Chains A and B, each alone.
Chain A
Amino acid sequence: MVRDRDNDEWIKSLEAQGPVRESALADLRELLFVGLKSSLKSRSDYVETMLDDFLQDSLIRILQALDQFQNRSRFITWATSIAIRVAMTELRKRRWRDVSLEKLVADSNFDPVSDVEGDTFPERRELVETMYRVINTQLTDKQRTVLLAEIKGMAQEEIAGQLGCTRNALYKLSHDARIRLKQELVRAGYDSQSFAVAFNG
């Protein structure tokens, strides 16, 4: 029977050798199987034949990261979060690998004329025009590209890969762009409330 363990026992068993480790690995695999299967089953880009590979890659990642487990949650929760990261990263990679970032950016841009010119709400039009002005005049080309790719839903891993930068560098590009946008919108007199109601209201 598959059994969960307390955190110490998981770590000790997975760091052990021989049958203790084998048994812990088998149980961990079964529990990850349950968690992954239930969290992926409703996705249209998932087919069950992928599950074995996801489980295999997840076990490797979890064993590599054992020393990073901080004992702040149940071990199985932590391990499942890693398995989900492994599976989702792969699914996103498959979905986006044939999409060219260059083409995505060439095909779309922050153009207030096409996006909000016909908008019947003047306040909303002004907000978007202000935001686009900041994007088009105060951000770098790379920052603009990242913002656009992110709102189009492109996978972070794929954006970084096609820009030839690390995930950390990508994060910095995006963060700097968001900070700049926020500062300039606040300077132009907008507050959190006006951001929230623009298109939701």
Chain B
Amino acid sequence: MSVTGDEIQQLLDVVRDTQAVEIDCDVCLMQVGEFAEDRLAGKLIAEGLKAIEQHLLICPECREEFEALCQAMNALEKPELAGLPGAKDEERKG
């Protein structure tokens, strides 16, 4: 099995985005919520969250989780669409 063109590009992208000082996945997890809220609100990335942005560029696992978090946050904004039992009860009562 050789390395595919996509995989080589992925490696080049990650090497390009590599920084001498980076945060790890645990630090990312503790702050990614704040980053996601700002992103969904359309705010510019605060200086203190630049390290999260960089980590999401180089770490596919945290990036996958960030995308899932944004999806979850959208669903939580409209719980009636996501099948939240309490919301349905309210709907029925209304």
Chain A residues in the interface with B (C-beta under 8 A): 1-3, 30-31, 33-40, 68, 70, 72-74, 76-78, 80-82, 84-85, 88, 92, 107-108, 110-111, 114-116, 127-128, 131, 147-148, 150-153, 155-156, 167-168, 171, 175, 178-179, 181-182, 185, 192, 195-196, 198-200
Contacts and interface: CB of A to CB of B under 8 A. Distances in A.
Q: B5, B16, B58, B87: which has the most chain A beta carbons within 10 Å?
A: B16
B87 A82 contact: no
Main secondary structure of the interface of A (DSSP, over half): helix
Interface in B16-68: 16, 18, 20, 22, 24-25, 29-34, 36-37, 58, 60-61, 64-65, 68
Interface residues of B, number: 50
Contacts of A127: 12
Contacts of B30: 68, 70, 78
A167 B87 CA distance: 40
Contacts of B2: 108, 111, 114-115
